[in-house]
Amino acid sequence: MAWRPNEYVIEGELDNTQLGRVTGWIQFAGLKDRVTFDLRGDFHRDIRGAKVHFVGNAHEGEIPEGAERYFEGFSLKQTGVVGDMTAGLPPHDFGNKPSFEWYGYENGRVVIELQTHQVHVIGNPIPAAESFPISRQQQSQNMARFLSGLASGLGMHQEQVICIGDKEASAMARRNANDRIRGMKLLPQEIRKILPPLYSQDGKGAAAVVHVKFFTPDNSWTWLATEGEPILDESGNEVDFQFFGLVQGQFEELGYFNLKELEEVRGPMGLPIERDLHFTPMPLGQIAPHLFTEAGS
């Protein structure tokens, strides 16, 4: 699984002033002691060679329900390899939001996603022009090792990671594995409840509200859903879920997309599509005003 302890972050500081190494600490609600770090690797170029201090949404002395149970098996000393660590600043080698990812030897992949205002850069990063972007090949290898370990933990042979039998079984296996990797459900019940049915915002144009955002963490594709409803078979059983909204990728267009496709697809580095946990519903016109300006609406 991928640990995503965003809601439990109280405060932390990570240090890359010694190149090739990231040290520091994070205080999580639900853990009495700080988690310390000694990782191999570097930050992305926006903060390479500097420290970052950040604050989360949790508070010391206030332990969210389920926090202690969540951290069962989580090591207090994180050793391993740096993944994608960025404050989301230019030159934007990896997205425009703060993200701190690592592959711990003891507990696997961990991802913490924050907002820009929560992160403070300490010191002067190495000028971007004087260093190279993080190797995507190396990050792919980090992910491959993680996937291999995950497959072993699930009792799967390595060849089964690629193909495990008939088409339907293979699709289900991919979806289940992807859920473990992303550490979340793409369409939980709380999203189903707020998502309007298909055609309910028809004709609203720029005023149509986007309720959920999906994205590929290893490139710039996004799916912004304004509506959706289940696809049922003849017996009334749900076989898929269809969304309508804005797709931003090689092109930008309004259209339909299905849950099964989102659950199974992976990006160029092998990462599955994720749901933006910090997304706040907003009108389409606020996200892509140029679409409606050109249309004259």
**Domain shared by 130 and 198, yes or no:** no
d(CA 207, CA 201) in angstroms, rounded, equals 9
- Which tokens hold the place of 12? 């932390």
Rounded (10°) CA dihedral 31, 34, 35, 40: 170
Answering whether pTM is above 0.75, one says: no
What is the number of domains present in the chain?
Answer: 2
Which secondary structure element, helix H or strand E, spans residue 227, and what is its range? Answer: strand 222-232
Question: Residue 61, Cα to own-chain centre: how many angstroms?
Answer: 28
Pairing of strands 108-113, 99-104: antiparallel
Long-range contacts of 189-197 (CB under 8 A, 24+ apart): 191/275, 194/281, 195/225, 195/227, 195/228, 196/226, 196/227, 196/228, 197/227, 197/228, 197/229
DSSP for residue 266: B
Most confident of 60-64, 161-165, 270-274, 283-287: 283-287
Contacts of 158 by beta carbon, 8 Å cutoff, 6+ apart: 148, 151
The domain containing residue 68 runs over which residues? 6-134
Residue 3 has pLDDT above 90, yes or no: no
Mean pLDDT value of segment 35-64: 94
Last residue of a domain, one of 71, 103, 134: 134
Of the three residues 134, 155, 176, the one that is the final residue of a domain is 134
Overall average pLDDT of the 203-230 stretch: 91
> Is the residue at 46 inside a domain?
yes
Pair (130, 207) in one structural domain: no
Q: Are residues 15 and 128 in the same domain?
A: yes
Q: List the single range of 96-100, 105-109, 118-122, 237-241 with lowest mean pLDDT.
A: 105-109
110 bridge partner residues: 3, 102
Is the same domain home to 33 and 98? yes
* Confidence bin at 292 (pLDDT 50/70/90): confident
5-38 per-position pLDDT tens digit: 999 999 999 999 999 999 999 999 999 999 999 9
150 in a structural domain: no
Same domain flag for 231 and 122 = no
Average pLDDT of the chain is 84
Residue 181 has pLDDT above 90, yes or no: no
In a domain, 149, yes or no: no
Q: What is the pLDDT of residue 144?
A: 61
- For residue 108, being part of any structural domain is answered with yes
Q: How far is CA 34 from the centre of its chain?
A: 24
Say yes or no: 28 and 124 in one domain. Answer: yes
Q: In 119-157, where does DSSP find H-type helix?
A: 136-153
Q: Would 176 be classed as within a structural domain?
A: no
Instruction: State the first-to-last Cα distance of the chain, in angstroms, to the nearest integer.
Output: 45
CB count within 10 Å of CB 197 equals 11
- Picking from 134, 155, 179, the residue at the C-terminal end of a domain is 134
Give the dihedral of Cα atoms 149, 144, 36, 34; nearest 10 deg.
Answer: -70
Domain membership flag for residue 280: yes
How confident is the model over 179-207, as a mean pLDDT?
85
β-strands 282-283, 222-232: how paired? unpaired
The whole-number pLDDT of residue 168 equals: 45
The Cα-based distances of 211 to 14, 156, 208, 219 in angstroms read: 33, 37, 10, 21
Q: What pLDDT is attached to residue 180?
A: 58
Contacts of 187 by beta carbon, 8 Å cutoff, 6+ apart: 212, 241, 259, 275
Write the pLDDT tens digit of every residue in 44-53.
999 999 999 9
Q: How far apart are CA 22 and CA 213, in angstroms?
A: 31
Q: Residue 142: which residues within 8 A CB-CB, separation 6 or more?
A: 81, 83, 103
Query: Is there a domain that residue 262 lies in?
Result: yes
Say if 283 falls within a structural domain.
yes
Ramachandran class of 20: left when φ > 0, alpha when ψ lies in -120 to 50, beta otherwise: left
